[in-house]
């Protein structure tokens, strides 16, 4: 009973940075303000919209849309190349402000996070939210929207409701608070596809059954939803009642590290593919070493021009964080699926089954340990002075 009461007494704040990439670009270039523009790739290189300004959204431009289609909707659309290192730096500045409020922060993407503010008894939730929004706006010149509820599910939906309810052409600066005990009533009129777990296929099936709103889901018997949709149906029914007991997760366990590249034009050249895999393997190895991790399974992902996507993997005898070993394994995997001169649209390499490296140095390991020490020095120099400062010699 105490656990149930604790869950009911929680106060969860969900923060979403509005049109984040575009908002950051506007802080660096005032000429972009008020204009239809999108951050993303070039239309003639299969680019997609990563983020679009509110002026562009008025014309139907949306994230993940092909840039070529966005240009058909808005011929004078300005295209800004993404600067992901910059966005990451700004995101860290925002997250630092969240951590100044509480240690119970769960970052779920570069521009989105949950906070458990239950223990901040000296301030009411609305005041906390407005002060946080003002701080991010005044100090970092970024807009944000916030939802507050007794759980993560309802808080996130509250944020979306606030954004959609806002009027005007600029960022919404939404703030929606759902009082404890009113979760189910708040969800009743909302479209069913606003609920977590309702993707396009599930939404289509719900529509066939005459279910259009979250309230419609809540009115169906739980056992009937479970019969129709399996375990997912049980979750849908519980979520439609506004029930979500998941805690704030402050640290995410790394399950895999990967890199992939989509080529501007299809690639047939072996050397280009091998060079790409080598660079990806270096980056995967660097990330593993930086986090003091190693993995046993190396995975190759490859996509042909017709969008057929294959993956192959192999498990090594021992865990590795070594660039060369990852690269050699990836090359072997590629040769098992790719025919000579076969065109490639996308290629990627990853490492999973990750854990702490096991290093048992013996007389026979001295050479590899020396190589490891050298690699650690290279990593440190590249981290401090940039990736181009020094390279290990490549041997094929």
Supply the pLDDT for residue 392. 52
Residue 302 has pLDDT above 60, yes or no: yes
3-state secondary structure (DSSP) of residue 260: strand
* Domain range for 229: 186-240
Assess whether 26 and 124 both reside in one domain: no
CATH code for the domain in which residue 111 is found:
3.30.70.270
Assess whether 263 and 293 both reside in one domain: yes
Residue 246 counted as domain residue: no
Supply the pLDDT for residue 363. 39
Supply the pLDDT for residue 379. 56
Assess whether 289 and 317 both reside in one domain: yes
Q: Which residue has the higher pLDDT, 153 or 265?
A: 153
Residue 249 counted as domain residue: no
CA–CA gap between residue 276 and residue 270 (Å, rounded): 10
Place of tokens 């503010």: 117
Residue 61 counted as domain residue: yes
Assess whether 146 and 160 both reside in one domain: yes
Q: Which of the residues are catalytic?
A: 112
Assess whether 233 and 315 both reside in one domain: no
pTM reported for the whole predicted model:
0.67
Per the CB < 8 A criterion, the answer to whether 385 and 339 are in contact is: no
Q: Of 53, 82, 111, which residue constitutes the final position of a domain?
A: 82
For the CA atoms of 214, 215, 216, 218, what is the dihedral angle to 10 degrees? 90
Q: Using CB atoms within 10 Å of the CB of residue 222, give its burial: 0 to 12 exposed, 13 to 18 middle, 19+ buried.
A: middle
Assess whether 274 and 377 both reside in one domain: yes
Assess whether 150 and 11 both reside in one domain: yes
Assess whether 260 and 205 both reside in one domain: no
CATH code for the domain in which residue 344 is found:
3.30.1490.100
Supply the pLDDT for residue 391. 52
Residue 176 counted as domain residue: yes
Highest-pLDDT range among 265-274, 310-319, 325-334: 325-334
Residue 7 counted as domain residue: yes
Supply the pLDDT for residue 381. 55
Average pLDDT over residues 65-75: 94
Q: How many domains does the chain have?
A: 4
Q: Of 140, 161, 183, which residue constitutes the final position of a domain?
A: 183
- DSSP for 42-67? -GGGT-BEEEE-HHHHTTT--TTSBH
Assess whether 57 and 46 both reside in one domain: yes
Q: Around Cβ 138, how many Cβ atoms within 10 Å?
A: 9
Percent of the chain with pLDDT over 90: 64
What rounded mean pLDDT belongs to the chain? Answer: 86
Q: Which residue has the higher pLDDT, 168 or 363?
A: 168
Assess whether 267 and 381 both reside in one domain: yes
Could you tell me the CA-to-CA distances from 151 to 6, 97, 131, 184, 328 in Å, in that order? 11, 21, 21, 12, 47
CATH code for the domain in which residue 34 is found:
3.40.1170.60
Assess whether 215 and 296 both reside in one domain: no
Q: Of 183, 212, 230, which residue constitutes the final position of a domain?
A: 183
Residue 285 counted as domain residue: yes
Assess whether 300 and 363 both reside in one domain: yes
Residue 392 counted as domain residue: no
Residue 245 counted as domain residue: no
208-251 pLDDT, tens digit per residue, is 999 999 999 999 999 999 999 888 888 999 999 999 988 888 86
């Amino acid at each position: 009973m105490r656990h149930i009461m604790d869950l009911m007494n929680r106060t969860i704040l969900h923060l979403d940075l509005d049109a984040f990439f575009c908002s950051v670009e506007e802080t660096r270039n005032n000429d972009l303000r008020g204009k239809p523009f999108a951050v993303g790739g070039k239309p003639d290189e299969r680019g997609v919209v990563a983020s679009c300004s509110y002026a562009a959204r008025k014309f139907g431009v949306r994230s993940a849309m092909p840039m070529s289609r966005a240009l058909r909707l808005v011929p004078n659309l300005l295209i800004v190349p993404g600067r992901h290192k910059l966005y990451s730096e700004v995101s860290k500045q925002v997250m630092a402000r969240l951590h100044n409020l509480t240690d119970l922060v769960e970052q779920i993407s570069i521009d989105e996070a949950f906070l458990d503010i239950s223990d901040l008894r000296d301030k009411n939730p609305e005041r906390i939210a407005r002060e946080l929004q003002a701080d991010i706006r005044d100090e970092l010149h970024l807009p944000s929207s916030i939802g507050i509820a007794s759980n993560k599910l309802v808080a996130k939906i509250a944020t979306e409701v606030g954004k959609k309810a806002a009027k005007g052409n600029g960022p919404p600066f939404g703030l929606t608070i759902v009082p404890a005990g009113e979760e189910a009533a708040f969800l009743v009129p909302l479209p069913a596809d606003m609920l977590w777990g309702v993707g396009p296929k599930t939404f289509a099936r719900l529509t066939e059954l005459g279910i259009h709103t979250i309230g419609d889901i809540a009115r169906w018997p739980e056992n009937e939803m479970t019969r129709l949709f399996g375990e997912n149906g049980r979750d849908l029914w519980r979520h439609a009642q506004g029930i979500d007991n998941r805690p704030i997760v402050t640290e995410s366990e790394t399950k895999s590290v990967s890199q992939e590249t989509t080529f501007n034009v299809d690639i047939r050249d072996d050397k280009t593919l091998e060079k790409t895999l080598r660079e990806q393997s270096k980056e995967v190895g660097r990330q593993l070493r930086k986090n003091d991790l190693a993995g046993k399974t190396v995975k190759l992902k490859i996509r042909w021009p017709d969008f057929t996507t294959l993956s192959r993997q192999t498990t090594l005898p021992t865990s590795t964080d070594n660039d060369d070993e990852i690269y050699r394994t990836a090359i072997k995997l590629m040769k098992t699926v790719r025919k000579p001169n076969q065109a490639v649209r996308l290629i990627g390499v990853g490492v999973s089954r990750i854990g702490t490296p096991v290093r048992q140095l013996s007389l026979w390991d001295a050479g590899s340990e020396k190589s490891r020490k050298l690699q650690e020095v290279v990593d440190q120099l590249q981290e401090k002075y940039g990736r181009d400062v020094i390279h290990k010699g490549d041997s094929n």
